[in-house]
Amino acid sequence: MANTTSKKDKRAKKLPTEEPVEAVIADQITDAEAVEVVEEKHEAKTHKAEPTAKAGKRSAKAIAEAEADAEKEERKASNIQQEIEDADKPKQHSNPTRSRLERQGKNFRKAAEQIEVGKAYSLADALGLATKTSPVKFDATVELHINLNVDPRHADQNIRDNFVLPQGTGKTIRVAVFADVDDAAKAKAAGADIAGIDEVTKILEKGSMDFDTLIATPSQMAKLGKYARTLGPRGLMPNPKSGTVTADVAKAVKEAKAGRVEYRVDSTGIVHLGIGKVSFGVDRLSENAQAALASIKGNKPASVKSNYVKAIHMSTSMGPSITVETSAAN
């Protein structure tokens, strides 16, 4: 019996002690984490061991550009995907843009109904329509807009002139004359509202500009130089081309009071002119319109060989446009 017991004890001593399952799993996890840490350190060392090149694909600049391109491609793909998703969504109803006529007021639309779209009217018919289609309550100005086949950048095609409307402008024109005592007296006799150097200078110093036209004699123009910045932007600076710098101040005053108008082609080759008031009637307006067209026709440059007048339109203040036949001016 003793021998049997001793053999069992020896065998028990040789058998390894059994550990709990939880302890074994914990040890395995710890070993795996240790391996990962070692691998990360190795990768870091490897990365440090590979320095960027000074030039080429491995340079810092090339790597940064490649990363930027990759981000750009990602954004493009994202935008395309977003567009595809938006296309699949039901579209919201949007109101169509209204025409220019539909956006106008009720009175304008009612007046425009009397004008046939696309039709060119004779001068007399256009003037008759203009007096009927004014949508405003005040006495509107009848305007001519003449599109000329000229290039204002060329000196000979920069059309500019002045003339007297036979029936006047329908406006009360206040005329000031900057001249010495003798010429000022003549201007006063001709109907000038303000005349004299001292009188005009006081008004210019105040900056009130209580006049519509300023006439000056050539000898006194130098004194107006310091007021050029005030008069120029308002179109009041005397100019020989407009007939406001002259030795015959009496004649200039009479013409200004009678209805002298000045015109100049704009940068797009169009002349804009007011030829009177709606209250003038067709006959008086016709005289003024013919005088305006005659003046423009008389200033046709020699370098323009084809049709001089490309288009003519007539309208009243805030009123609809009427197309006029170009034969009236060509």
Report the share of the chain in percent with pLDDT over 70: 81
β pairing state of 175-178 and 141-148: unpaired
- For the stretch 173-223, pLDDT in tens is 899 999 998 888 999 998 899 899 988 898 888 877 888 899 999 988 888
Residues 243 and 292 in one domain: no
User: What's the DSSP call for residue 56?
Assistant: S
If asked whether residues 325 and 295 sit together in one domain, one would say: yes
In the structure, what pLDDT confidence band is assigned to residue 64 with cuts at 50, 70 and 90?
Answer: confident
More confident residue, 128 or 93: 128
In order of 17, 239, 295, 329, the CA distances from 27 in angstroms are 16, 106, 110, 108
Q: What is the pTM of this model?
A: 0.62
CATH at residue 279: 3.30.190.20
**What is the mean pLDDT of the segment spanning 114-120?**
87
Considering the domain architecture, whether residues 126 and 161 belong to the same structural domain is answered as: yes
* Local confidence band at 289 (pLDDT 50, 70, 90 cut-offs): very high
Identify the pLDDT of residue 146. Answer: 93
142 and 265 housed in the same domain: yes
How many CA atoms lie within 13 Å of 279's alpha carbon, on the beta-carbon side?
Answer: 9
The Cα-based distances of 217 to 187, 197, 233, 250 in angstroms read: 11, 11, 21, 11
How far apart are alpha carbons 220 and 184 in whole angstroms? Answer: 12
Least confident of 18-22, 198-202, 230-234, 242-246: 18-22
Asked if the model's pLDDT at residue 239 lies above 90, the reply is no
In a domain, 102, yes or no: no
Residues 263 and 166 in one domain: yes
- What is the CB-side half-sphere exposure of residue 60 using CA atoms within 13 A? 2
Residue 141 lies in a domain: yes
Question: H or E segment at 58?
Answer: none
Looking at the structure, do residues 291 and 245 belong to the same domain, yes or no?
A: no
Q: In terms of domains, do 224 and 148 share one?
A: no
Tokens of 105: 């007021």
**280 & 253 share domain:** no
Point out the domain boundary residue: 86, 107, 140.
86
Tell whether 264 and 166 lie within a shared domain: yes
Please report whether residue 240 resides in a domain: yes
What pLDDT score does 291 carry? 92
In a domain, 104, yes or no: no
Q: Which two tokens stand for residue 106?
A: 């009720």
Buried-exposed string 106-125: b where 16+ CB fall within 10 A, e elsewhere = eebeebbeebeeeebbebee
pLDDT of residue 211: 87
**What's the total number of domains in the chain?**
3
- The helix or strand, by DSSP H or E, that contains position 288, with its residue range, turns out to be helix 281-298
**Domain with 208 in it:** 174-258
Q: 277 and 328 share a domain?
A: yes
In a domain, 187, yes or no: yes
- Residue 91, pLDDT score: 65
Query: Looking at the structure, do residues 292 and 156 belong to the same domain, yes or no?
Result: yes
Check whether residue 266 and residue 329 sit in a common domain.
yes
